[in-house]
Amino acid sequence: MKKRIWYILFLIPLLLTIGSQRSAAQNIPNQSSNEQVQIILHKLLFTEGNLPDPQKNTGEEQVFFQEAQGLNEVSFSVYDVTASFYQLREQGIDVTTAQQQLAKKGQEIGTFVTEQITKTVGNEAGIAQFQLPKQDAQGRDQVYLFQETKTPVNVKEKSANLVVVLPINNEQGQELKTIHLYPKNEETTPLSFLEKKIQGDSSVSFGEIVTYTVDTVVSDCQSYQLIDEADDHLFFLPDTWKLKIGGQEIHSGYKMVSHQNGFELTLAKETLQKMVGQPLSITYQMQVSATAIPDEELKNNVTVTTEREYLQRSTAIRTGGKHFLKIDSRNQRPLQSAVFLVRNQRGKYLHQTKEGVTWRMSSEGAYRLTSDQSGNFSVRGLTDGNYYLEEIQSPKGYIKSEELIPFVVEKNSFQQNGQQADPLKVKNRKADFGLLPKTNEKNSQFYVIVGLILVSISLWKWRKKGENK
């Protein structure tokens, strides 16, 4: 801001070198009110820290800004401040001071004339061209205020107002038919970097606590707001929230407001001024609700908004599940009231808690799955992996399976695009109460072998008895 003030105070009197020759200009006979002057603005953008000190602007074309580039899409409005200028002159205020006062007050002391947006003309970007009357209706030399009204987001601040008092002469005293102006801007360091990550795998279970990190930088700005908004099935744990800037955890200079599914962070202006360019890191945790739907993404979005930029990033996790169908092994008829437990690869049993799920070695109180009248049952809220069903109660009239039934939870094993995935069929054999009862395949073979052994023993004893007679 200090540089900008000096820019206004220094640039305007140098820009308008003819101002000191005002009394001589007033002696020139009145020119036609239809006569116009061409004014060309060359909008220049310098990289951050390389904005030059104010230089003399003669109104003539200059080509020495090698380190700058033309900037398009900048709006400039022109205001007629002729009346205000001559009022100040009548009060005895000199030309330079009058220009400074008009530049400071801006558009409020003038009448809008026209507006142009800078664009590429020929091979040069950042050009805005104006054709303006030289004199007003009273025959007075015109005075114009040029004000930057719209600036791209990558500019630190708008250029200073320019006040042009006509006519402007070159060093030889010749009036310039075309006047060149060079308003300058400094490019701000863009935020550009914003990253959001989860620590660990993206596959989660009900009740699992997930750690998130947000990494960015403190940009050169006047306002800074970071909003983190998660899915309704992710609950923010505010006690886990930590903010670091420049690698140091901070506890002041900001405002953090938490809600059920996220938080809002606003940095104070003092913090922004002190920490420009420093890395900013936030860590916090969220808990997965037991109401989450398997295979539906649980998104967590973060946005950063300044007066110049808007950035958004997102990350997602998901929980899994599996559908099952209990059927008769012979006729495929659905079977009701079969009861199962779920075990993981470590042999632990699935237990359900108020927050979600957990695993224990004991089967007492373990979570039970029961097939309904259509034979359907399912498990939800598991991470991807290999699991087993353990049947503890078979349907009435059926043999209980003695073997663990393996199944896999993976992406889309529960649903895909709202459509239920195909269930894993779990078969039971109906009990047979004949001489050699049939259970599952292994039990059936066992009883056959035992029967053959008993028959063989009986035949051996009968033959032995016959020989002894």
- pLDDT tens for 405-459 read 999 999 999 999 889 999 999 999 998 754 444 445 555 566 667 777 877 777 7
Measure the CA–CA gap between 323 and 374, rounded to whole angstroms: 13
Q: Is the pLDDT of residue 20 over 90?
A: no
The SS3 assignment for 336 reads: coil
Spatial distance between the Cα atoms of 367 and 341, rounded to a whole number of angstroms: 6
Per-residue confidence (pLDDT) for residue 19, from 0 to 100: 42
> Quick one: pLDDT at residue 251?
95
Q: What is the pLDDT of residue 443?
A: 57
CA atoms of 309 and 204, how far apart (whole Å):
34
H/E stretch holding 282: strand 279-288
Cβ pair 424, 379 in contact under 8 A: no
In sequence order, the 6+-apart residues with CB closer than 8 A to the CB of 157 are: 1, 4, 151, 185, 186
pLDDT over threshold 60, residue 304: yes
Q: Does the structure show a pLDDT above 90 at 25?
A: no
More confidently predicted of 449 and 401: 401
At 131 the pLDDT is 96
Angle between helices 95-105 and 82-90 (to 10 degrees): 130
pTM: 0.59
**Mean pLDDT value across residues 22-41:** 62
Q: Which of 42-46, 285-289, 339-343, 385-389 has the lowest mean pLDDT?
A: 42-46
Q: Are 393 and 337 in contact (CB under 8 A)?
A: yes
| In the block, residue with structure tokens 């664009």 | 119
Which has the higher per-residue pLDDT, 39 or 355?
39
Distance CA 230, CA 300 (A): 4
| Res. 4: pLDDT tops 50 | no
Strands 162-165 and 178-181: unpaired
CA distance 202 to 209: 12
Task: List the single range of 208-222, 282-296, 359-373, 435-449 with lowest mean pLDDT.
Answer: 435-449
What's the rounded Cα separation, in Å, for the pair 346 and 363?
13
pLDDT at position 435 is 42
The DSSP element (H or E) to which 451 belongs, if any, is helix 441-468
Per the listing, tokens 């107002």 go with 161
CB atoms within 10 A of CB 95: 22
* Domains of the chain by start residue, with CATH: 36-187 (2.60.40.10), 194-318 (2.60.40.740), 320-428 (2.60.40.10)
Contact 281, 213 (CB under 8 A): yes
What's the confidence (pLDDT) of residue 30? 45
Q: How many CA atoms lie within 13 A of 445 on its CB side?
A: 2
Share of the chain above pLDDT 90, in %: 63
| Whole-number pLDDT of residue 154 | 63
Report the DSSP beta bridge partners of residue 318: 203
- Mean pLDDT lowest among 215-224, 361-370, 383-392: 215-224
Q: Give the three-class secondary structure for 235.
A: strand
Q: Are 196 and 211 in contact (CB under 8 A)?
A: no
Q: What pLDDT, in 10s, does the model give residues 161-175?
A: 999 999 999 888 899
- Name the residue with higher pLDDT: 84 or 434: 84
Report phi then psi at 293, rounded to 5: -95, 125
Question: Region 186-209: what's the mean pLDDT?
Answer: 85
What pLDDT does 442 receive? 54
| DSSP-derived 3-state class of residue 184 | strand
